């Protein structure tokens, strides 16, 4: 499988260092579409701290990926749902920590969550 970032250099605003406009995936045999995942512990409880929720959230995503014999290296798209605009930087930093030097198409949306204690929810697409 090959992943090729697509960032046109004219006729559109430039991509920022933390994301790409698009990702072309060729030669993939499998795709994994992951539901919105939250920073909940195994009892379904959300810690009150944003950093703790982001840590749990990405741990939960890694566990889901592992079930499909995948890792964060297989992520080709990330959508974040934040309950407050002030969470943008922490969310970005957590994503960049997980992805390392890799950049994928990403969108962050500020929303009202179903439960007030849920501070962030993330859905991904992965390919292998």
Is residue 68 assigned to a domain?
Answer: yes
Is residue 115 assigned to a domain?
Answer: yes
pLDDT, averaged across the chain: 96
pLDDT at 71 over 90: yes
pLDDT at 21 over 90: yes
In whole angstroms, what is the distance from residue 10 CA to residue 1 CA? 28
Residue 72 belongs to what domain range?
A: 31-127
Tokens 């959230």, residue? 57
Is residue 102 assigned to a domain?
Answer: yes
Is residue 2 assigned to a domain?
Answer: no
Tell me the CATH number at 104. Answer: 3.30.1330.40
pLDDT at 100: 94
Give me the number of domains the chain comprises.
Answer: 1
Is residue 43 assigned to a domain?
Answer: yes
Secondary structure string (H, E, C) spanning 4-46: EEECCCCCCCCCCCCCCCEEEEECCCCEEEEEEEECCCCCCCC
pLDDT at 113 over 90: no
pLDDT at 114: 78
Is residue 8 assigned to a domain?
Answer: no
């Amino acid at each position: 499988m090959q992943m090729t970032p697509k960032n046109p250099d004219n006729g559109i605003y430039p991509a920022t260092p933390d994301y790409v406009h698009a990702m072309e995936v060729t030669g993939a045999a499998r795709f994994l579409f992951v539901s919105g995942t939250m920073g909940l512990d195994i009892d379904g409880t959300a810690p009150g701290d944003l950093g703790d929720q982001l840590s749990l959230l990405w741990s939960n995503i890694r566990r889901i990926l592992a079930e499909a014999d995948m890792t964060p290296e297989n992520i080709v798209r990330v959508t974040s749902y934040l309950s407050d605009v002030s969470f943008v930087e922490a969310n970005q930093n957590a994503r960049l920590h997980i992805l390392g030097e890799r950049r994928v198409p990403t969108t962050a949306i500020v929303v009202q969550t179903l439960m007030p204690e849920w501070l962030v929810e993330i859905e991904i697409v992965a390919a292998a």
